[in-house]
A = this chain, B = another copy of it.
Amino acid sequence: MRARRGLREEAVLTDSLKHGRTLSSKELGRIICSIKKSSNFWRIVELSRQPLPVVAEVLSSLIDKGYLRVDDGRVLFSKDLSGLDLQDTVDFDESRCRGCNGRGLDMDRYSDLLKRFREIAKARPSALREFDQGFVSEETTIARVALMHRWADIKGKEIVLIGDDDLLSIGLWLTGMPERIVVLEIDERLTSFIRDVTGGTVEVRGYDVRRPLPEDLVGAFDVFFTDPTESLEGFKVFALRGMLSLRGDGAGYFGLTRVEASLNKWYEIQGFLHQCGFVITDIIDEFNHYQDWDYYQDTRAYSIAPVKIEPIPYWYKSSQIRIERVIERDLDNSEVTGLIYFDEESSTV
């Protein structure tokens, strides 16, 4: 959008993008700057803060045009990019606090909880591609507990989790503070595991998010937590079930990535939340750190990656978002049919 800076060259680079969008010099600059900071494809995607398919295409295009080369799995510059007139106009430094991994929370007082949780999680079921699973680090799960407790969303509260491959229900249960925890989960390996560990204290129900939220759960909770799939339609379904589950001024939590959701999608999502009567109280960058998937070689991400190497730990992160209802609105609880897990920005399904 900045005509004065190499716009022509950028167009050359990006006119082949498939999704009908043109990258701005800001977006392109961030990708190029990320390549300077790392030669690892997955880390470049992480640093770029743009949908993986976009980053993969830009890299492929730069490789085709001879600006980049791949050497032993590493992405390297072949020639000076000064013709693109970008390299001096974009730089960044993530400079995350090492004490808290950038989340801002003091986890020292949660160290016992984390230890107990880790012990239990050793026996957890592995992630399944069938349900778009991919769970967060144990540290992340307990950081979610800390965040929820900051907001008074645990003690004495009735909490529903829509999908729980992260085992947050167990983390919450270990605090002994919630009044009620209900897990709605499609995967029977997880429902059995959670039921066994908590001796039935955590209520577990088989549930497919495409079905309406059961009547007895509508308006029955103070807090929901979900880690939705990130196709726009899929996200809305997860969010709606969560919002429907709340009474009054209840609060909700969900993650949202930049890897599978462009800022345009974020914008659509924020408009949707507002329409539904919810305010956003927190957006914490890179709060959720995901473990690698056992099934990574079957993902679209791997198939379109210009470099076929194993993902590095925690390249896939998401912002943690918290919302709170301020206005009562009628919300749709109808059944959804068809596949909701995929759109053109998706890549880990």
- Interface residues, chain A, with chain B CB atoms under 8 Å away: 1-2, 24, 26-27, 29-30, 33, 88-100, 102-107, 109-110, 146, 149-152, 154-157, 177, 179, 222, 247-249, 263-264, 266-267, 270-271, 274, 278-285, 319, 324, 326-327
A104 and B24 contact, CB distance less than 8 A: no
What's the minimum C-beta distance from A261 to chain B, rounded to whole angstroms? 11
A104 and B102 contact, CB distance less than 8 A: yes
Closest chain B residue, CB of each to CB of A158: B2
Within 8 Å CB of A94, what residues of B? Answer: 150
B95 and A146 contact, CB distance less than 8 A: yes
Other A-B contacts than A2-B247, A91-B156, 17 sampled, CB-CB below 8 A, are A24-B249, A29-B152, A30-B152, A33-B152, A90-B155, A91-B149, A91-B152, A95-B146, A95-B149, A95-B150, A96-B105, A97-B100, A97-B103, A97-B105, A97-B107, A100-B100, A283-B283
B270 and A156 contact, CB distance less than 8 A: no
Within 8 Å CB of A281, what residues of B? Answer: 263, 266, 283, 285
Closest chain B residue, CB of each to CB of A97: B100
Within 8 Å CB of A152, what residues of B? Answer: 26, 29-30, 33, 90-92
Q: Please, could you name 24 A-B residue pairs with CB atoms under 8 Å apart, sorted by A?
A: A2-B247, A24-B249, A26-B152, A26-B248, A29-B152, A89-B156, A90-B156, A91-B152, A92-B152, A93-B109, A93-B150, A95-B150, A96-B106, A97-B106, A98-B99, A102-B104, A102-B105, A266-B280, A267-B274, A270-B274, A270-B279, A270-B280, A274-B274, A282-B285
How many chain copies? 2
Closest chain B residue, CB of each to CB of A155: B91
| Residue with the greatest number of chain B CB neighbours at <10 A, chosen from A88, A152, A155 | A152
A263 and B279 contact, CB distance less than 8 A: yes
Instruction: Give the 6 A-B residue pairs with the shortest CB-CB distance, closest first.
Output: A1-B248, A89-B156, A99-B99, A97-B100, A91-B155, A92-B152
What's the minimum C-beta distance from A114 to chain B, rounded to whole angstroms? 13
What's the minimum C-beta distance from A322 to chain B, rounded to whole angstroms? 9
A267 and B102 contact, CB distance less than 8 A: no
A2 and B90 contact, CB distance less than 8 A: no
Within 8 Å CB of A109, what residues of B? Answer: 93, 95
Within 8 Å CB of A266, what residues of B? Answer: 279-281, 326
What's the minimum C-beta distance from A270 to chain B, rounded to whole angstroms? 6
A97 and B97 contact, CB distance less than 8 A: yes
Closest chain B residue, CB of each to CB of A321: B283
Bound-state Cα–Cα, A92 to B282, Å = 16
Within 8 Å CB of A284, what residues of B? Answer: 104, 282-284
A274-B271, A326-B267, A327-B267 known; A92+B24 contact, CB < 8 A: no
Bound-state Cα–Cα, A327 to B21, Å = 13
A263 and B155 contact, CB distance less than 8 A: no
What's the minimum C-beta distance from A5 to chain B, rounded to whole angstroms? 9
B280 and A177 contact, CB distance less than 8 A: no
What's the minimum C-beta distance from A288 to chain B, rounded to whole angstroms? 13
What's the minimum C-beta distance from A244 to chain B, rounded to whole angstroms? 15
